[in-house]
Amino acid sequence: MPGMLIGVVGPSGAGKDTLMAGARAALDGDARFRFVRRSITRPAEAGGEDHLPLSPEEFEARRVTGGFALWWEAHGLRYGIPADIGADLAAGRVVVANLSRTVLAGAAARLPLLVLEISAPIEVLAARLAARGREAAADIAARLAREAPLPAGLRVARVMNDGPAEAGVAAVLAVLRGAAAQESG
């Protein structure tokens, strides 16, 4: 039975990385799940998520040889999800990957997809972004105004991350375990 790709999306400041790290730790050793490490044309020392750093040339070489199941460009960088997720899906696993909204419709056309949208109220997002200290208030407001709606017709599970991190992790785990139970049932 084919597995399920869980495409995690949400605005900056929603706490996606925090919730996904908690879910990954809770599911460590559970062979039903794979949390994907993305390839990004960003040096490893640049910070942010744990990723496979690739030069633009290395990324392009992998892309043209079919090394990515999904790929996109955003904010001057290129992002890729490895093609080997196909074997995980064929084995019935739940594959969890941080995706861009721009690839959701194409992913849903080719793969069994459930979108996990993690968000928070706008005032919470603004406060979290301000606390990072990376952007001016005007830039934060512009970033929050840019958020686009999800493409129509997708299966979507939503988690509102506006309370303690533990509550958000529990909500994410419920979605992931529900997907795994659906795939094995």
80 is in an annotated binding site: no
139 is in an annotated binding site: no
| Cβ–Cβ < 8 Å for 145, 12 | no
- Integer Cα distance of 100 and 156 in angstroms: 14
End-to-end CA distance of the chain: 9
13 is in an annotated binding site: yes
55 is in an annotated binding site: no
16 is in an annotated binding site: yes
10 is in an annotated binding site: yes
Q: At residue 104, what is the residue type?
A: L
Of the candidates 144, 152, 148, which has an alpha carbon nearest to the alpha carbon of residue 101? 148
- Rounded to the nearest 5°, which phi and psi values hold at 8? -85, 125
Q: CA dist 13 to 59, 62, 105, 122, 125, Å?
A: 27, 31, 24, 9, 5
Residues annotated within a binding site for ATP: 10-17
Residues annotated within a binding site: 10-17
